[in-house]
A and B are shown apart, each in its own frame.
Chain A
Amino acid sequence: MTAADVLLLALGAVAVGAATLVVTTRHLVRAGLYLVLCLGAVAGLFLVLTAELVAWVQVLIYVGAVVVLLLFAVMLTRAPIGASDDLDRPGWPAAVIGGGVGLGLAALLIDAFRWTKVELPEPGTAESLGTEIFRSWVLPFELLSVLLLAALVGAIVLARPEIGRRR
């Protein structure tokens, strides 16, 4: 049990607890704020796993942009501020399937990696990751830029006000 293990356990507990609250809370806005906590804990896990650049990108894009977008959507759809009872369907089929998926995957991974111990690799700094992207992954990188442009134009076209107007 090294310091890295203790950190991983603590951050993992925070992430799983916050995720549980995200999917069970009855306040829409609080679900978004618990999502911030969960994504921040996952960014901490990335840092402990020496993925520095990925951790900071996670903080910038997920915690910064995605959650802000989600909170904007909560406001623009005039969600109720307080607790609301009509957010959920009856829970047991979802609990069976979700619990089955989560615990099944956990059992598989525990079976595969139960006693494995590894040394942490050299850190994934911006320099090493950038070298790797622009040496080996240039084509997917450029394709992603085209995809981002397509998604941007698509989102703008979809959100135009005149689409839903009755003629």
Chain B
Amino acid sequence: MRPVIPYVVAALLFGLGVFGVLRRRNAVLVLMSVELMLNAVNLILVTADTTARAALPHGGQVFTLFVIVLAAAEIGVGLAIVLQLYRLRATVDTDDVPLDGGQERPQGGVA
């Protein structure tokens, strides 16, 4: 088994996830891209379990399970935030999120 194949697949998945997070404007699609990145990390960990001989056996796979649990918690809280954003603003466009405490700027005013 050549470990370079899953390693390269994981690197490409991570790059695609970074691309999606930066490019996508819809918050749900941004969360999907974050899931791609987390999966790339999981693939790296599982592959490292075959190449690195650690003191504890199966350390990489145990860490993968932990990362999957963290991803489940992250997606729950993230989607709650997205739904609240939709309820407040009627949009999930990340470009429309105000970054200064939610105060509407006066029209024509200088930021």
Q: Is A65 an interface residue (CB 8 A)?
A: yes
Q: Which residues of A contact B10 (CB under 8 A)?
A: 109
Task: Name 10 A/B residue pairs within 8 A (Cβ), A-sorted.
Answer: A19-B12, A70-B75, A73-B82, A77-B28, A87-B24, A87-B25, A89-B25, A116-B4, A129-B61, A163-B84
Most chain B C-beta atoms within 10 Å of own C-beta, residue among A19, A116, A119, A164:
A19
Cα(A66)–Cα(B70), bound, Å:
12
Cα(A8)–Cα(B96), bound, Å:
41
For A19, the closest partner residue in chain B by CB is B16
Interface size on A, residues (CB 8 A): 90
Question: Interface residues of B toward A: which range?
Answer: 35 or more
A28 touches B39 (CB 8 A): no
The B63-101 residues at the A interface (CB cut-off 8 A) are 64-66, 68-77, 79-84, 86-88, 92-93, 95
B77 touches A158 (CB 8 A): yes
Knowing A16-B13, A79-B28, A151-B73, the reply to whether A109 touches B7 (Cβ < 8 A) is yes
B33 touches A22 (CB 8 A): yes
B51 touches A70 (CB 8 A): no
For B18, the closest partner residue in chain A by CB is A98
A102 touches B35 (CB 8 A): no
Knowing A49-B6, A164-B87, the reply to whether A154 touches B77 (Cβ < 8 A) is yes
The contact string, 1 if C-beta is below 8 Å from chain B, for chain A 123-155, is 010001100110011001100100110011011
Q: Which residues of B contact A5 (CB under 8 A)?
A: 1-2, 5
A119 touches B1 (CB 8 A): yes
Q: Is B22 an interface residue (CB 8 A)?
A: yes
A54 touches B65 (CB 8 A): yes
Q: Which residues of B contact A120 (CB under 8 A)?
A: 1, 50
The A92-132 residues at the B interface (CB cut-off 8 A) are 93-95, 97-103, 105-106, 108-110, 113-114, 116-121, 124, 128-129, 132
Q: Is A82 an interface residue (CB 8 A)?
A: no
A69 touches B6 (CB 8 A): no
Q: Which residues of B contact A144 (CB under 8 A)?
A: 66, 69-70
B63: min CB distance to chain A, Å: 9
Q: Is A81 an interface residue (CB 8 A)?
A: no
B56: min CB distance to chain A, Å: 5
A142: min CB distance to chain B, Å: 12
Knowing A62-B68, A118-B50, A151-B76, the reply to whether A51 touches B29 (Cβ < 8 A) is no
